[in-house]
A and B are shown apart, each in its own frame.
With several copies, the nearest count.
Chain A
Amino acid sequence: MPGIEDLYREIILDHYRTPRNRGELPPPAVCTEGNNPLCGDDIRIYLDVADGVVRDVKFSGQGCSISQSSTSMMTVAVKGKTIEEVRAFVRRFKHMMTLSEDGEPVDQSIKLGDIEALQGVVKFPVRIKCATLGWNTLLEGLDEATK
């Protein structure tokens, strides 16, 4: 059995205790909502996109340490990136979470930085949904912001 310390790395607990970019953004920022039917967690992502760049991003909602910290780290990472960069970044993250779709190109050279601490989640398959909740909700926000 994988140890609990694989899951609750210090950096994860840090983002859980002190989440970054928590809050809301007023319209015209896009707001999308996601939820995890298993545990009842929900999350809202606020996205301010202009000229193809993520200017600002915030999140609110309730969730476990994994979903909250993963979302917090995600917001830090994507702010300031172009939409294409963000999409490539999400693909790289999902690949780490063993969730790549068949034939989807993944740029392995992209560095995930702190987010690599979430790799341990893979050993706890039930929690993968927690770790990806914010990211999937972000993708929906991107779709909405760019349509």
Chain B
Amino acid sequence: MTGANSVLDAAAIRREFPILTSEINGKPVVYLDSANTSQKPNVVIDAMTTFMRESYAPINRSAYTLAASATEKYEGARAAVAKFINANSTNEIVFTKNATEALNLVAYSWGRANLQRGDVVVLTHMEHHANIVPWQMLQQERGIELRWVPLTSDFQLDLSSLPTLLAGAKVFSFTAMSNVLGTINPVEKLCAAAHAAGALAIVDACQSVPHSPTDVRALGADFAMFSSHKMCGPSGVGVLWGREALLEAMPPFLGGGNMISEVRLDGFKCAELPAKFEAGTPPITEVVGLGAAIEFLNGVGMANIRQHEIAMSSYALEMLTSRFGDDITIHGPRNPELRGATFSFAFRGIHPHDLSQVLDQSNVCVRAGHHCAKPLMKIIGANATARASFYLYNTTQDADALADALDSASDIF
């Protein structure tokens, strides 16, 4: 039932997610908005509940048993994250509130310490606003130059101009996968190109870490960031991974408790990594929840998730084109091996907002809008698109439900 070629039992996995087994108006929820934020399995909800009921306490500050064991759980989650992405050390794992903060942290701290007027930062046309606006703020403030890697007609990065764009650049910051097109970028190759040009490689891994195995060392990146809420974990926590030597050398970002080793009236000294970048009381329960999410994902197997999503992509692409032909335009690569299971589309000229409203009548949840990628939308010639995104808990039935709901939209418009 979960797609002919899938290696995992999505129907069984789905039963672990309370919202996905619930009904609205007697009809099941067909959740196709995981590129936006993912649902939470029982084990994550339970880990948070149990922690709040039995173990909640301050971390890194107090010495009593409850606090020591909360600290252990919090730091245990850090170790789990480090292992999950094959970081060299837990010192390389900084907890932020989301990936957006992580990108801003790098732009504020590394950027302000290292970028001067005229310095070049290379981005791509398929970036999320989170990987655009922080650099534009630096552009306004510092007069750095932004360059953009364009797209090919088949929704890939156009690498022909890359060496020219990277010449003299200080930073190349790019997404591992487009949250609009589904395009998976050749991250290793892009990191190598950045380094060959003497630039730092920053990988926005928001759309890749939840969906496939990640090995930051193999990627050869300098920084990578992702959000817990897109990978079955709670909202309120994100991860910045960075090479230890880089993080060491950076000035602090947010100032306050925990990030200092000394404070006097005349100045302060920073704490060691990773505390240096974790000012104030962190999202304690949420980090513990992220730890549970990673355990859950490891149990399913990240390679299996990737295989499942390839199968879902194949199925959805074939089914939608065979049912709707030219009435549907999918903005993204056709080859399931080169893309994630995130599909932006136009359907029979119906405005995406209207489309999502009609789909909602069948509890089919898709996002309509610019997906926080307005420059990209302009380039693909759309003000807005509808976007259906699949995850480990989606089945071919969800894809069919989408198609059935699209049919009913045609009836209205």
Q: Please report A residues at the B interface, Cβ cutoff 8 Å.
A: 1, 3-4, 7-8, 13, 35, 37-42, 62-66, 124-127, 130
Contacts and interface: CB of A to CB of B under 8 A. Distances in A.
Given A4-B358, A4-B412, A7-B357, A41 B384 contact: yes
A42 B377 CA distance: 13
Contacts of B72: 125
Contact of A37 (B24, B271, B368): B271
A93 B60 CA distance: 24
Contact of A124 (B24, B351, B352, B357): B357
A41 B262 CA distance: 11
Interface string B402-413: 000000000011
Interface residues of B, number: 31
A39 B68 contact: no
Given A13-B413, A65-B413, A126-B63, A39 B260 contact: no
A126 B354 CA distance: 12
- B interface majority secondary structure: mixed
B351 A38 contact: no
B147 interface: no
A137 B230 CA distance: 36
A64 B384 CA distance: 10
A4 B370 contact: no
A3 B357 CA distance: 10
Contacts of A66: 353-354
Contact of A38 (B61, B354, B358): B61
A39 B370 contact: yes
Interface string B262-286: 1000000001000100000000000
Given A1-B65, A35-B262, A65-B354, 19 more contacts: A1-B25, A4-B358, A4-B361, A4-B412, A13-B412, A13-B413, A35-B261, A37-B271, A38-B61, A39-B63, A39-B352, A39-B370, A40-B370, A41-B383, A41-B384, A125-B68, A125-B72, A126-B67, A127-B63
Contacts of B358: 4
A42 B65 CA distance: 24
Interface string B382-399: 011000000000000000
30 contacts: A1-B65, A4-B357, A4-B358, A4-B361, A13-B413, A35-B261, A37-B262, A37-B275, A39-B352, A39-B353, A39-B368, A39-B383, A39-B384, A40-B369, A40-B370, A40-B374, A40-B377, A40-B383, A41-B353, A41-B383, A41-B384, A63-B383, A64-B352, A65-B354, A124-B63, A124-B357, A125-B72, A126-B71, A127-B353, A130-B353
B357 A1 contact: no
A66 B413 CA distance: 12
Given A4-B412, A37-B271, A42 B383 contact: yes
Contact of B68 (A37, A62, A126): A126
Contacts of B369: 38-40
A66 B358 CA distance: 13
B72, B261, B351, B369 interface centre (most CB from chain A within 10 Å)? B351
Contacts of A63: 351, 383
B271 A64 contact: no
The 6 A-B residue pairs whose C-beta atoms are closest, nearest first, are: A64-B353, A40-B370, A64-B351, A40-B384, A37-B261, A40-B383
Contacts of B377: 40
A124 B68 contact: yes
B357 A127 contact: yes
Contacts of B61: 38
Interface in B20-36: 24-25
